[in-house]
Structure 1
């Protein structure tokens, strides 16, 4: 499974729903990250306002910030490779970068009650009703 790290600009929260103007991209991206976690990937998200030490620990993040400023944020790093800068990627891109299928996992068939067209009780030519 992949290790996904997101380095966000300074925000009050990662979903973006606590500010006066809600950016619809942020809740969608938060849901996409929850989906990635459910697929078994490691996901870490760092906010510049609250996790500045994490930005300072990562050499590539420090270099990009020094070269480009905060305009490079958000940064998305998958398995130590910068895969996205300056925008929140789609679920499709996250799936591509982590080798995750977008198709839902096949579920086991569920047992149901027989219906008239299946030839069970009271159906077909059983003659029981």
Structure 2
């Protein structure tokens, strides 16, 4: 099966998707701020472009969209055409490569799924707090 849109239309659609300051990133950052958790930075030039970085503790945090980063991908791909299967598979492989690079540089890497941030924000914040405390 081929993409239903022309390459020009697909390009326009893909360009309109936000890469920074997404709803889930803003939700997580606001919760961190409300908990008094400071010291994080944004737009740090690291492999994978983490959404939130705690430089002193060397913690890189990613807020991963369920669809784009392949949550439950084995189940999801049964409902997708080959274009999306390939696209998401490449995203998963890229994420793994970036994690490996960060780990080699002794960073702690945390990934939070979009649905987990939305449904269990307190749990995400607790995990970040525990990780920070272990590094201090």
TM-score (norm 1): 0.33
Q: Which has the higher helix share?
A: 2
TM-score (norm 2): 0.32
Q: Considering Cα pairs closer than 8 Å and 6+ residues apart, tell me whether 1 or 2 has the greater RCO.
A: 2
Q: Which has the higher strand share?
A: 1
Between Structure 1 and Structure 2, whose CA radius of gyration is higher? 1
